[in-house]
């Protein structure tokens, strides 16, 4: 069967990510590492060249059952032990002593994990690129589309939907910085041998490790990191930041899609129907992104808890990382993929945005009126006057300008044209256009790096 299996798993593992984080691929990567070690050692004369060639022929995992490896792993707390035994049995007698030579189980599985992570980040990069480009288009297209800015769920000031989209874009740029840095600097092999000294390889250990890294397309770290799990925790944090950034977008879309607001909605063509209510178009994309965010919050404590590893080999933390990291990777990519899909089909109701802005009958302009009146009558007196006018506006269901026009000081200090302009929301946007431009500029710079990671130009 293509794609993830099970009742709930497909919700959090995309068809594209499934082969990357699958058990079969993880086993394949472990075999790739064993073959790379043998090849490097053969080239450097650490093991016989003929043995290295025989081991390299094991590159295909055909016939290896990940589930059976997992069951056998119960005896040694790692699937590498049964894997090495199976591979050894496939070799001629003369080559058997040389497989896994000088390495330890953690070298194999940690390095395999980095190979999986590398491919996973490349896939996530494609989503990040699409999300960033879509948000950039929204920010540009709607940079002058008026809407109300809401603070603590209440109308605050006039704003634009373009600025809201730019704010989302800025969050994605900031959140993705950590993952980009990880991709460029932290995709490294693990190669320290049984105790982190590579003693079995005499003085050639580092040379072997550097060659292994080169063969696998990874970097060679300054030293082994068997019990320094900062890289894994950092990866978890970097992924969580991205999930948080797209979940912020999803949450805003859900809120803006309430019937009483109606500013944003997901396209009806994406599904979202209700089993009981035929009139509903549920925001399923945003719902799944929010579900991913909640799952990720549970994964992080596990990875951070593994930071304390005992002496030169952790007693249990390493094992706890494996399924947690796999689930975190797949969940993070699901969140970015669903976010991109949602933004691709986002329905923007400009009329609803304007209608909601006008719903407050001009009260969103209270700050501007206060600042203008303060110039002539002082801030305290102006604050009291405007506050009382807003309260009357709410009580009487009248406009703020109507209530202020009852005050002589307001009528006498401003001309008719000045009073009308004072309530023009598009002339009270401050630095909104600059902020939009800044976000677009940031994305232009960031997208170049993500294009490279995703395999683009």
Reported as a single tens digit per residue, the pLDDT across 74-105 is: 999 999 999 999 999 999 999 999 999 999 99
Helix axes 161-185, 432-453, angle to 10 degrees: 30
Mean pLDDT, the chain, rounded, equals 94
- Residue 276 confidence (pLDDT) above 60: no
Examine the residue annotation and report whether 274 is marked as an active-site residue of this protein: yes
Neighbours of 412 (CB within 10 A): 9
For the segment 320-354, what is each residue's pLDDT rounded down to a tens digit?
999 999 999 999 999 999 999 999 999 999 999 99
Check residue 368 and give its pLDDT.
95
393 is catalytic: no
pLDDT of residue 122: 98
Residue among 204, 313, 392, 419 flagged as catalytic: 313
Asked if 348 contacts 263 with a C-beta cutoff of 8 angstroms, the reply is yes
| pLDDT > 60? residue 280 | no
Q: Is residue 156 predicted with pLDDT exceeding 80?
A: yes
Whether the pLDDT of residue 278 is over 50: the answer is no
Parse the chain into domains and list their residue ranges: 9-353, 363-422
Kindly tell me if the per-residue pLDDT of 275 is higher than 50: no
Q: Exposed, middle or buried, 118 (CB in 10 Å: 0-12/13-18/19+)?
A: middle
- pTM, rounded to two decimals: 0.93
pLDDT at 238: 98
Please state, in angstroms and rounded to a whole number, the distance separating the CA atoms of residues 101 and 79. 17
In this predicted model, what pLDDT tens digit does every residue of 189-235 receive, in sequence order? 999 999 999 999 999 999 999 999 999 999 999 999 999 999 999 99
Cα dist from 256 to 161, 249, 252, 274, 430, whole Å: 11, 11, 6, 19, 23
Residue carrying structure tokens 């770290």: 221
Q: What's 9-353's CATH class?
A: mainly alpha
Give the closest residue to 112 by CA, choosing from 124, 102, 101, 120: 120
The answer to whether the beta carbons of residues 102 and 192 sit under 8 Å apart is: no
* The pLDDT of residue 63: 78
Which one is catalytic: 74, 174, 181, 274? Answer: 274
pLDDT at 61: 67
């Amino acid at each position: 069967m293509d794609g993830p299996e099970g009742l709930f798993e497909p919700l959090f593992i995309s068809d594209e990510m499934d082969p990357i984080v699958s058990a079969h691929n993880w086993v394949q990567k472990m075999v790739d590492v064993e073959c790379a070690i043998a090849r490097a050692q053969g080239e450097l004369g650490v093991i016989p060249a003929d043995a290295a060639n025989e081991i390299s022929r094991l590159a295909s995992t055909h016939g290896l059952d990940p589930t059976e490896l997992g069951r056998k792993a119960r005896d040694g707390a790692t699937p590498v032990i049964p894997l090495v035994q199976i591979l050894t049995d496939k070799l001629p007698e003369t080559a058997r002593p040389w497989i896994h030579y000088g390495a330890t189980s953690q070298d194999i599985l940690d390095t395999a994990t980095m190979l999986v992570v590398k491919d996973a980040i490349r896939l996530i990069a494609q989503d990040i690129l699409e999300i960033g480009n879509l948000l950039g288009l929204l920010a540009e297209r709607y940079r002058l589309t008026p809407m109300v800015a809401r603070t603590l769920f209440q109308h605050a000031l006039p704003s634009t939907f373009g600025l809201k989209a730019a704010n989302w874009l800025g969050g994605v740029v900031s959140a993705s910085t950590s993952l980009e840095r990880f991709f460029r600097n932290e995709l490294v092999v693990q190669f320290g041998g049984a105790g982190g000294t590579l003693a079995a390889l005499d003085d050639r250990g580092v040379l072997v490790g550097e060659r292994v890294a080169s063969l696998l397309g990874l970097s060679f770290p300054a030293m082994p990191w068997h019990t320094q799990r900062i890289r894994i925790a950092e990866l978890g944090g970097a992924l969580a930041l991205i999930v948080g950034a797209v979940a912020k977008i999803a949450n805003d879309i859900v809120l803006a899609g309430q019937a009483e607001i109606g500013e944003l909605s997901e396209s009806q063509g994406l599904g979202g129907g209700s089993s009981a209510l035929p009139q509903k178009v549920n925001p399923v994309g945003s719902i799944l992104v929010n579900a991913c965010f909640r799952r990720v919050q549970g994964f992080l404590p596990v990875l951070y808890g593994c930071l304390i590893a005992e002496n030169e080999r952790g007693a249990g933390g390493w094992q706890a990382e494996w399924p947690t990291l796999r689930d975190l990777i797949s969940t993070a990519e699901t969140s970015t993929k669903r976010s991109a899909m949602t933004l691709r089909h986002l329905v923007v109701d400009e009329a609803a945005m304007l209608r909601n802005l006008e719903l407050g009958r001009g009260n969103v302009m209270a700050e501007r009126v206060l600042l203008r009146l303060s110039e002539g009558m002082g801030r305290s007196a102006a604050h009291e006057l405007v506050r009382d006018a807003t309260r009357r506006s709410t009580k009487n269901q009248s406009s703020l300008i109507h209530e202020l026009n009852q005050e002589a000081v307001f009528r006498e200090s401003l001309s008719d044209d000045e009073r009308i302009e004072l309530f023009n929301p598009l002339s009270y946007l401050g630095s909104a256009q600059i902020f939009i431009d800044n976000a677009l500029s940031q994305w232009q710079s960031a997208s170049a790096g993500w294009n490279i990671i995703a395999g683009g130009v």
